[in-house]
A and B are shown apart, each in its own frame.
Chain A
């Protein structure tokens, strides 16, 4: 029977992913069951926290605004226009809408029944692949969070994925997983899990799977005291279990996990729970093979053959940062992941450069990150700050060796620049002849900074005291590091001068408890969050760490170590660590929102709660600065 309307609906859907990958039949079947909705401008399609509809939507005509309430303020998160999909993920996850949707102008939507679509997801790997890639890169919801046109922008990402890694390939699952009987005590099971280093154990009866316990069950049910450690595993196991056939594709496995909200998928002989267990797919099995996660990015870096590919990975890492922050994943963890990626990119840039030069380094060397990368606090793309130390060589060989490392460093910094780490405006880079030195020269340099602490030198040198090993010979780095601490120990007054320098940058509250904002220039009325709030905390952490000989660069890690070393001042250090986390997150979100480094905050655009949040961070700054003053007798220095 002819169905002109469904034909037209089909013709429209065919133009847009994921429908463009569907064959005619299933596409036409989908089109036949589409609902057509009409919305006036500003009419609400669904509200945040509404129960999921039975349909997800594609914009046929007009535009839809996705919005979200956070702390009572409405944020427009995305605008979808013709061909954009939205409202799908909550349907798959069976959860309420994370954001609301309203017609931004007069709009016609096609509503596509999830019931039909579930079937398509399971039968057309390309569709699920597409969804996974968009879910993964957006992490929360391709149709929710802040990714304009994101869903479709991801096509390139998928293509890339398809080339390097096939998501349609079967998951490599763990064979012959560890099982136990239902009457085993939790304690016994935990011992087995610990011995075998596994995070789950399947409970079987006559070899058939009846339940599973994971680390999480032990944490939430035993750790909390709800169940006893002597209870049998059957008391705390999840039951019944979802079972699957062998040859589950990675894409399918992802979708199954989303659908059933489980972390482990059990593989049985015929896919039902009436046959023997043959394997298990864990988070780990999937993570090592899936899309836009750190592990995958690391793999991509490893396989990269040029700077352009590294740039591409770095862009993905930025998306990952956004996604992490939106999910409110702790900032400490986020910085760790991003630092790992930054470091891996740098390492790869060095390896590629050595290959380009065509000869191996003449002597041992070590590539150092300084400044924020050295402290592992880089979240946004920022400038490069790096340095190079090479092994001592006889005088006659020095020029040749130095020339090699300067060439290497120039190539590396060029590559990093292509990747998106801009050249350091102050030229603090290993390609600068001043910062590409032998171990002996570096020792002299540090000695000079420490013994002759004049103001201008201090400002320059501070950045070098956060040097971190990235690539090459670790011993060179350690030798240098030990020596620096030794110098400082013998010349404690240096820390006084460092303190004095940082105190010239007072806590950001003015006399009337107002924000100190820039008084003139381009950034008038903007609060310099980097210099005024973050740097004092970074500086203080550095000074106290150098004082105690703490070999840590990361500010949060430094405060945490300080809490142990000076338990009497635990509170103050803890408050500094917390303030730092909040400020860093704040800066990063600002930077992402404004697509810049996030250095300046426009005070007038801050919500009341954000102002309060910022202000609450200033008290610790004042406190730690007061302690610096007292500890290092700053008032006595001239």
Chain B
């Protein structure tokens, strides 16, 4: 990793973040803090597009905790009129917006060493990592779970691939505030709990199972 040489002194909050991973206690699903998150972006290119908002909510001990949630809007120079209809975030809206750097600081402080959950997590994680890269910081160290992949662990679903909308329909989750970062994070949190519950009915579920792909090898 080049970043290791590039910069030896990280900001205080980031050091604290990195330190929080040093504690290697045995993990269990119940004792883990999960942070379900979603980002709204100007587009789908993780190199050139930008994050407009981040929404997240935590799951502690199988309970979604509204008090432990996160919602932030970013000031970006880049703007893509095409995606406005999806997320509804205008360049100069009424919502209070902050700089990318500040937003990341808040998010990292909120995230800590939680396990990240997102639908099609790879994209959202990459978007965050792009910002970190621009700031000369390390990539996220958090483990992450893709609810799309988790769904495939259910019996008979190995070859299915579904969008968040499709899964919500299958799991009977009302679509409130779809396409706001917080709304999607909330919906994804409910989806996660429902999939976990189904998985538990089908087999003995261990913490490590959450991260395995269908072939039972490698980490996500």
Task: Please give, as numbers and ranges, the residues of chain B lying within 8 Å of A32 by CB-CB distance.
Answer: 66-67
**Chain B residue with the shortest CB-CB distance to A38:** B193
Task: Please give, as numbers and ranges, the residues of chain A lying within 8 Å of B57 by CB-CB distance.
Answer: 5
A36 CB–B CB distance under 8 Å: yes
**Chain A residue with the shortest CB-CB distance to B177:** A4
Stretch in contact with the other chain, from B14-22, B25-33, B157-165, B178-186? B178-186
Task: Please give, as numbers and ranges, the residues of chain A lying within 8 Å of B183 by CB-CB distance.
Answer: 4-5, 8
Least CB distance, B184 to chain A, in whole angstroms: 10
Least CB distance, B99 to chain A, in whole angstroms: 16
B63 CB–A CB distance under 8 Å: yes
Task: Please give, as numbers and ranges, the residues of chain B lying within 8 Å of A33 by CB-CB distance.
Answer: 66-67
Task: Please give, as numbers and ranges, the residues of chain B lying within 8 Å of A3 by CB-CB distance.
Answer: 69, 71, 182
Of A33, A34, A37, A38, the most chain B CB neighbours within 10 A belong to A38
**Residues of chain A at interface, number, CB under 8 A:** 21
Check if A37 sits within 8 Å of B63, measured CB to CB.
yes
Interface mask (B167-197 → A, CB under 8 Å = 1, otherwise 0) = 0000010101100101101100110011001
Give the contacts of B111-136 with A (CB-CB under 8 A): none
Check if A35 sits within 8 Å of B65, measured CB to CB.
yes
**Chain B residue with the shortest CB-CB distance to A113:** B67
Least CB distance, A104 to chain B, in whole angstroms: 15
Q: Report Cα–Cα, A61/B64, bound state, in Å.
A: 15
A2 CB–B CB distance under 8 Å: yes
Least CB distance, A162 to chain B, in whole angstroms: 33
Least CB distance, B187 to chain A, in whole angstroms: 10
Given known A-B contacts A38-B197, A40-B201, A108-B190, A2 and B64 have beta carbons under 8 A apart? no
B95 CB–A CB distance under 8 Å: yes
Interface mask (A34-50 → B, CB under 8 Å = 1, otherwise 0) = 11111010000000000
A180 CB–B CB distance under 8 Å: no
Given known A-B contacts A4-B177, A4-B182, A4-B183, A38 and B194 have beta carbons under 8 A apart? yes
B155 CB–A CB distance under 8 Å: no
Given known A-B contacts A8-B186, A38-B193, A1 and B71 have beta carbons under 8 A apart? yes
**Chain A residue with the shortest CB-CB distance to B194:** A38
Choose one: B69, B73, B172; the contact of A6 (CB below 8 Å): B69
Interface mask (A358-394 → B, CB under 8 Å = 1, otherwise 0) = 0000000000000000000000000000000000000
Check if A2 sits within 8 Å of B186, measured CB to CB.
no
**Chain A residue with the shortest CB-CB distance to B197:** A40
Check if A111 sits within 8 Å of B63, measured CB to CB.
yes
A31 CB–B CB distance under 8 Å: yes
Choose one: B65, B71, B96, B194; the contact of A4 (CB below 8 Å): B71
Choose one: B55, B67, B176, B190; the contact of A38 (CB below 8 Å): B190
Task: Please give, as numbers and ranges, the residues of chain B lying within 8 Å of A108 by CB-CB distance.
Answer: 190
Task: Please give, as numbers and ranges, the residues of chain A lying within 8 Å of B174 by CB-CB distance.
Answer: 61
Of A3, A5, A36, A106, the most chain B CB neighbours within 10 A belong to A5
Task: Please give, as numbers and ranges, the residues of chain B lying within 8 Å of A4 by CB-CB distance.
Answer: 55, 71, 177, 180, 182-183, 186
Task: Please give, as numbers and ranges, the residues of chain B lying within 8 Å of A9 by CB-CB distance.
Answer: 66
Give the contacts of B89-117 with A (CB-CB under 8 A): 95-96
Of B64, B180, B186, the most chain A CB neighbours within 10 A belong to B64
Check if A6 sits within 8 Å of B66, measured CB to CB.
yes
Check if B66 sits within 8 Å of A34, measured CB to CB.
yes
Q: Report Cα–Cα, A11/B130, bound state, in Å.
A: 36
Task: Please give, as numbers and ranges, the residues of chain B lying within 8 Å of A5 by CB-CB distance.
Answer: 55, 57, 66, 69, 71, 182-183, 185-186
Give the contacts of B48-91 with A (CB-CB under 8 A): 55, 57, 62-67, 69, 71, 73
Least CB distance, B12 to chain A, in whole angstroms: 23
**Chain A residue with the shortest CB-CB distance to B172:** A106
Given known A-B contacts A35-B64, A35-B65, A2 and B73 have beta carbons under 8 A apart? yes
Check if B96 sits within 8 Å of A8, measured CB to CB.
no
**Chain B residue with the shortest CB-CB distance to A9:** B66
Check if A8 sits within 8 Å of B71, measured CB to CB.
no
Q: Report Cα–Cα, A8/B182, bound state, in Å.
A: 11
Least CB distance, A32 to chain B, in whole angstroms: 6
Least CB distance, A222 to chain B, in whole angstroms: 50
Choose one: B64, B176, B201; the contact of A8 (CB below 8 Å): B176
Task: Please give, as numbers and ranges, the residues of chain B lying within 8 Å of A34 by CB-CB distance.
Answer: 66-67
Task: Please give, as numbers and ranges, the residues of chain B lying within 8 Å of A6 by CB-CB distance.
Answer: 66, 69
Interface mask (A1-19 → B, CB under 8 Å = 1, otherwise 0) = 1111110110000000000
Check if B66 sits within 8 Å of A1, measured CB to CB.
no
Give the contacts of A152-190 with B (CB-CB under 8 A): none
Choose one: B96, B176, B193; the contact of A2 (CB below 8 Å): B96
Task: Please give, as numbers and ranges, the residues of chain A lying within 8 Å of B66 by CB-CB distance.
Answer: 5-6, 9, 31-36
Task: Please give, as numbers and ranges, the residues of chain A lying within 8 Å of B71 by CB-CB distance.
Answer: 1-5
Task: Please give, as numbers and ranges, the residues of chain B lying within 8 Å of A106 by CB-CB distance.
Answer: 172, 194
Check if A35 sits within 8 Å of B69, measured CB to CB.
no
Check if B177 sits within 8 Å of A36, measured CB to CB.
no
Q: Report Cα–Cα, A566/B117, bound state, in Å.
A: 81
Least CB distance, B30 to chain A, in whole angstroms: 13
Q: Report Cα–Cα, A108/B96, bound state, in Å.
A: 32
Task: Please give, as numbers and ranges, the residues of chain A lying within 8 Å of B63 by CB-CB distance.
Answer: 35-37, 111
Q: Report Cα–Cα, A61/B73, bound state, in Å.
A: 30
Check if A1 sits within 8 Å of B186, measured CB to CB.
no
Task: Please give, as numbers and ranges, the residues of chain B lying within 8 Å of A38 by CB-CB distance.
Answer: 62, 64, 190, 193-194, 197
Q: Report Cα–Cα, A131/B95, bound state, in Å.
A: 38
Task: Please give, as numbers and ranges, the residues of chain B lying within 8 Å of A8 by CB-CB distance.
Answer: 176-177, 183, 186
Q: Report Cα–Cα, A9/B182, bound state, in Å.
A: 13
Q: List 8 A-B contacts (CB under 8 A).
A: A1-B71, A4-B177, A5-B183, A5-B186, A32-B67, A33-B66, A36-B63, A108-B190
Q: A5-B185, A32-B66, A37-B64 are in contact. List 15 more A-B contacts (CB 8 A).
A: A2-B71, A3-B69, A4-B55, A4-B182, A5-B182, A9-B66, A31-B66, A34-B67, A35-B63, A35-B67, A37-B62, A38-B194, A40-B197, A61-B174, A111-B63
Nearest 9 A-B pairs (CB), nearest first?
A36-B64, A4-B182, A38-B193, A33-B67, A34-B66, A35-B63, A40-B197, A5-B186, A5-B182
